[in-house]
């Protein structure tokens, strides 16, 4: 089966293989669905507060920060996901005092991120073309971007989950969180290793997120490799696929 196809675990599989595949898919779904739900839970109430702030006066970047901070800190404190950074990225021209604004907290110290460009000239920050912002703003649906090297925040391989914020049908930006791939590997690889098969998780364009095979590195393209001929199994509500290789001897 070619790398662009998706398989059903029940098609031509033995009971043991079905069980392994279903467990691998369940692990991925459970792991990433929680962080997505956390964003969805606060983005609506946050948007309502933004609307109230707009009605009561000028919406500045500082006012956005004050509204975002408690939600960002709660997201960073999630127990079941290694959230590295969290916050809100404003739609272009939403704040009255800048063309763009990133209200973001990250790291073990949970400090607000202040970019060099943001501290000197907010006009220099242009995230409008970046996948984690562009797609949820265009589709109105949650999106997972990555793995990619996040030169804006962490300088490490990162997965970003983002959901759009709306006021009366108008998208005002995205709420998001970052997970470092190194932390995701720490959590998931032991679970996959217990399945006694090589498990590779790939994103929608066929690039490796994590894999139990040490020769299969994060960011590698599956196309053109042996795994391109193996079935992919889609995860529900998570834009990831699982490839399960033959049992280890």
pLDDT tens column, 47-92: 999 999 999 989 999 999 999 999 999 999 999 999 999 999 999 9
Mean pLDDT of the chain: 90
**What pLDDT score does 6 carry?**
59
pLDDT tens column, 203-229: 999 999 999 999 899 999 999 999 999
Beta bridge pairs of residue 41: none
pLDDT tens column, 175-208: 999 999 999 999 999 999 999 899 999 999 999 9
Provide the CATH number for the domain formed by 15-30+183-247 in this structure. 3.30.450.20
Taking the alpha carbons at both ends of the chain, their separation in whole angstroms is: 24
Please state, in angstroms and rounded to a whole number, the distance separating the CA atoms of residues 243 and 237: 17
Domain 34-180 belongs to what topology?
Beta-Lactamase (3.30.450)
pTM of the full structure? 0.89
Stretch 124-136: mean pLDDT: 88
Per-domain residue ranges of the chain: 15-30+183-247, 34-180
173, 193 in Cβ contact below 8 A?
no
216, 206 in Cβ contact below 8 A?
no
Structure tokens at 197: 């098969």
160 φ, ψ to 5°?
-115, 130
């Amino acid at each position: 089966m070619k790398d662009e196809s998706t398989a059903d675990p029940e098609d031509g599989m033995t009971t043991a293989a079905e069980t392994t595949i279903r467990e691998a898919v369940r692990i991925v779904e459970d792991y990433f669905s929680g962080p997505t739900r956390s964003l969805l839970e606060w983005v609506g109430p946050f948007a309502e507060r933004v609307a109230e702030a707009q009605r009561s006066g000028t919406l500045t970047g500082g006012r956005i920060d004050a509204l975002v901070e408690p939600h960002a800190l709660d997201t960073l404190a999630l127990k079941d996901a290694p959230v590295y950074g969290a916050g809100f990225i404003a739609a272009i021209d939403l704040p009255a005092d800048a063309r763009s604004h990133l209200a973001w907290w990250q790291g073990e110290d949970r400090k607000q991120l202040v970019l060099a460009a943001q501290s000197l000239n907010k006009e220099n920050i242009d995230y409008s073309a970046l996948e984690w912002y562009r797609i949820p703003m265009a589709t109105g649906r949650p999106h997972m971007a990555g793995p990619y090297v996040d030169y804006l925040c962490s300088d490490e391989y990162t997965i970003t989950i983002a959901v759009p914020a709306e006021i009366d049908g108008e998208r005002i930006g995205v709420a998001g969180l970052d997970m470092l791939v190194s932390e995701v590997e720490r959590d998931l690889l032991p679970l996959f290793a217990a399945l006694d098969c090589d498990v590779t998780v790939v994103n929608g364009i066929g690039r490796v997120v994590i894999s139990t095979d040490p020769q299969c590195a994060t960011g590698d393209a599956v196309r053109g490799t042996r795994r391109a001929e193996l079935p992919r199994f889609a995860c529900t509500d998570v834009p990831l696929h699982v490839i399960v290789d033959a049992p280890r001897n």
